């Protein structure tokens, strides 16, 4: 029997999943969480095999909740079930330790198959997400995006220029944005890379292959 925890802040959606999965012979819903923090707490108490995890929730988002759960023992398999299909969300979830990524609106059979696959140690993605992942890596941009999945495309552009040794004024001029906007981007980059200064950001960026030319 696969022990399943549902984490989503919308009661109606949780209820829909419950109705969808309650009669499946090999799946038992052991709990429901309305916030990311509650998902972490319940997972520690109930030791589910699989957690269906939304990304946008109060208290703690699904990415951080996934990260915390994947540090624990035993570690449940996390399958993200969300409406967000942008690259930042997908790669952030993968980097946090998610075993699967589905979009809300997935068919019942697809959700059941994903829960079973995750419980058996497989990684599984909805067809739309799989296509995006394949296309992303095929384009040659996968290495830097995978290294810094939380950065937006513009923040990645700014980081590339920082790694190349360019100052804020030069970055503002070349990207045709204001100096204040550049400073905001730099501040966000430092926070997401968990660094305190430009030198440390350059080191991390160059280790990932940015700014080498």
All domains in the chain, ordered by first residue = 2-135 (3.40.50.2300), 151-207 (1.10.10.10)
∠ CA 11-67-152, nearest 5°, is: 90
Banded model confidence at residue 164, pLDDT cuts 50, 70, 90: confident
Q: What is the pLDDT of residues 175-208, one digit of tens each?
A: 999 999 999 999 999 998 888 888 888 888 887 7
More confident residue, 39 or 142: 39
**How far apart are the C-alpha atoms of 118 and 66, rounded to whole Å?**
14
Q: What is the pLDDT of residues 95-120, one digit of tens each?
A: 888 988 999 988 999 999 999 999 99
| pLDDT higher than threshold 60 for residue 9 | yes
Beta strands in the chain (DSSP E): 2-7, 27-33, 50-53, 77-82, 100-103, 124-125
Average pLDDT for 72-83: 91
∠ CA 64-81-103, nearest 5°, is: 130
């Amino acid at each position: 029997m696969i022990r399943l925890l549902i984490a989503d802040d919308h009661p109606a959606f949780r209820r829909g999943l419950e109705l969808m999965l309650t009669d499946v012979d090999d799946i038992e819903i052991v709990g429901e969480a309305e916030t990311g923090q509650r998902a972490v707490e319940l997972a520690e108490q109930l030791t589910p095999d699989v957690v269906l995890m939304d990304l946008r929730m109060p208290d703690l988002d699904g990415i951080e909740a996934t990260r915390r759960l994947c540090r624990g023992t035993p570690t449940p398999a996390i399958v993200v079930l969300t409406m967000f299909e942008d690259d930042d969300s997908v790669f952030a979830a993968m980097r946090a330790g998610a075993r699967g990524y589905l979009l809300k609106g997935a068919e019942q059979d697809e959700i059941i198959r994903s829960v079973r696959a995750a419980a058996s140690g497989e990684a599984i993605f909805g067809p739309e997400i799989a296509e995006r992942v394949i296309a992303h890596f095929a384009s040659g941009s996968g290495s830097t995006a995978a290294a810094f999945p939380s950065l937006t495309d513009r923040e990645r552009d700014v980081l590339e220029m920082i790694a190349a040794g360019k100052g804020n004024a030069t970055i503002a001029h070349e990207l045709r944005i204001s100096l204040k906007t550049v400073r905001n981007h730099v501040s966000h980059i430092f926070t997401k890379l968990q660094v305190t200064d430009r030198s440390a950001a350059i080191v991390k960026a160059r280790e990932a292959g940015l700014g080498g030319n």
